[in-house]
Amino acid sequence: MKEKLIDLFEYTHHFNKEMIKYISENKPKVDEKTISLINHTLNAQQIWNSRILGEKSFEVWQVNPFESLHEINKQNFLKSIDIIQKSDLDQRVEYQNSRGTKFENSIFEMLFHAINHSTYHRGQINSLLKQIGIDPLLTDYIFYKR
């Protein structure tokens, strides 16, 4: 199970990196919503890692300096891998969402959600790019594995 999660985070890290690069290459045409979504995608992974570890987290919709996005993506990846390697994935963690509501989920559920969430928002970003005439970046898992 841990090996599969690591593979999925490698995929997530790879295509987050490619998406940041692609947005950067097209930045003059890209709107604020696209910038907001790539930030949100990275922020969310940082938030889920922080919830698991009991650390201070980013704000859900904070916009980071664009030049810091590659480093945030890298740190998110390294921290997620470290959590996978050092944790019992069935361990349940209590946390609060951004509205202060308390929940409890397993580490596996939280990490899998972070992967799924990233995939979802990369799809949204691709849709926004297409609307402004930029070809979408192919980010499907199967393309990563080919």
**Residues annotated in a binding site:** 40, 117, 121
Binding-site annotation, residues for a divalent metal cation: 40, 117, 121
- For residue 98, the SS3 value is coil
Q: Angle at CA 90, nearest 5°, toward 74 and 57?
A: 40
Whole-angstrom distance, CA of residue 90 vs CA of residue 101: 22
Provide the token pair at 43. Answer: 């922020």
